[in-house]
Amino acid sequence: MSLLVARDIVAGYGAAEQILKKASIHVEAGEIVTIIGPNGAGKSTLLKVVAGLVPAREGSIQLGGEDVTRFGAVDRTRSGISFVPQERNVFGNLSIAENLEISAYRDSGDASRRIEELYERYPMLAGKRRDLARTLSGGQRQILAMAMGLMTAPKLLLLDEPTAGLSPRAADELFDAIVALNRGGLPILMVEQHAVEALAVSTRGYVLVSGKESAEGPGPQLAADPEIRRLFLGG
Ligand SMILES: Nc1ncnc2c1ncn2[C@@H]1O[C@H](COP(=O)(O)OP(=O)(O)OP(=O)(O)O)[C@@H](O)[C@H]1O
Ligand SMILES: [Mg+2]
């Protein structure tokens, strides 16, 4: 059984034209799946539909065989989906510790234990726990955003452009952190503009164009496809 199946998703904003036009993707246990595609293709919208932040007007979403299409964002989180947004994904005027604390379930008794686990995994956060999040570097901020996403112990982590704005070196380090998380057993669905690097570490990838997946395949194979390189990867 697939971990996540989003089938024929139609979604948009207000009365404007639909952004997603019967888009379908799936994620299997253990996978890193990357979605690439041009600006405005609907990549972030698709992650938001999976996270329950934008409603699907048509189509269905199954998580571990359960139909979660009608679940709101809170119930999606309870079902095991965690979403790290593309922008403004930490609270700059709160400390690292406070950012983690507010990312726990409200009724969760084991938040402190979870935070200690995350400090062990990411010692940089432990060292800076009392600092304001706005003092972090771009790469450190993304680690914090990811750690916040891990506070609910998700079954599937959604990452929207985790390496946006990072130097090549910081981006590589973040990809290493993402791969390490995945090796620990967590399936990851991410959107990336650093397409070659992201596809290289991905089990599978999708190319989303105008709200519809136009190609799908093993990450390294997609990254090497001449047509895809020409269209999306700058040659
Ligand atoms: N909250 C919103 N209200 C209205 N339109 C929106 C909203 N969010 C996104 N859109 C529109 O939906 C379309 C797809 O946006 P989306 O953010 O999903 O694209 P994307 O593929 O993630 O692009 P990028 O690569 O620039 O992040 C765009 O035309 C955008 O203007
Ligand atoms: Mg986007």
Write the CATH number for 175.
Answer: 3.40.50.300
How far lies 217's CA from each of 128, 137, 199, 213, 225, in Å?
Answer: 40, 34, 10, 11, 10
Average pLDDT rounded to a whole number, residues 162-168: 94
Distance CA 110, CA 121 (A): 17
Q: From the CA of 13, which ligand is nearest?
A: 1
Distance CA 158, CA 34 (A): 10
Q: Is residue 127 part of a domain?
A: no
* pLDDT tens by residue, 186-224: 999 999 999 989 999 999 999 999 999 999 999 999 999
CA 17 to centroid of ligand 1, rounded, Å: 12
Distance CA 162, CA 17 (A): 28
Q: From the CA of 19, which ligand is nearest?
A: 1
Q: Is residue 114 part of a domain?
A: no
Q: Is the pLDDT of residue 156 over 60?
A: yes
Q: Is residue 124 part of a domain?
A: no
State the pairing for strand pair 58-63/204-209. Answer: unpaired
Q: What one-character DSSP code corresponds to residue 154?
A: -
Q: Specify the number of domains making up the chain.
A: 1
Distance CA 99, CA 122 (A): 14
Quick check: CB of 187 below 6 Å from ligand 1?
no
Mutate to test the pocket of ligand 1, among 18, 34, 44 (most ligand atoms within 8 A of CB): 44
Of how many residues is the chain composed? 235
Q: Is residue 28 part of a domain?
A: yes
Q: Is residue 120 part of a domain?
A: no
Q: Is residue 138 part of a domain?
A: no
Instruction: Assess contact for 17 and 159: CB atoms under 8 A.
Output: no
Average pLDDT rounded to a whole number, residues 141-153: 97
pLDDT of the residue at 233 = 64
Note down the domain range covering 40: 4-87+154-232
CA 48 to centroid of ligand 2, rounded, Å: 10
Q: Is residue 92 part of a domain?
A: no
Q: Is the pLDDT of residue 107 over 70?
A: no
Distance CA 183, CA 174 (A): 14
Q: Is residue 194 part of a domain?
A: yes
